[in-house]
Amino acid sequence: MMSFVEELRSTSAEFARLWDEGTVGPHVSARKTVVHPQVGEVICDCDVLTVPGCDIRLVVYTVAAGSTDAEKLEFLRVTNGVRADGPTPPGPGLFSTP
């Protein structure tokens, strides 16, 4: 079975050229704290991936599987942030760097 990279290399000369060059954008990683009005602080790993020669950036926030932070995010996913004891406070979370 042909791998995904092999398939792309065989169908796109530009992909093959870029793959052979091995040039990648800088990978920036940091730890961020999101303060959510329902669950409090959620510590996230923040990875920023960039495309060389262009202003495109992909920002990805993740938490450790099985962590308290993952449990907080699961609570928000399942309940949409609504607790049995009252409505969800308005407004987004706040970002800070520890």
Helix (H, G, I), strand (E, B) or coil at 7: helix
Give pLDDT, residue 1. Answer: 42
3-state secondary structure 38-80: CCEEEEEEEEEEECCCCCCEEEEEECCCCCHHHHHHHHHHHHC
Record the pTM: 0.56
Tell me the percentage of the chain whose pLDDT exceeds 70.
79
Tens of pLDDT along 44-59?
Answer: 999 988 877 888 888 8
Cα Rg, the chain, nearest whole Å: 20
Give pLDDT, residue 86. Answer: 63
Q: What one-character DSSP code corresponds to residue 91?
A: S
Domain ranges of the chain: 24-96
Helix (H, G, I), strand (E, B) or coil at 30: strand
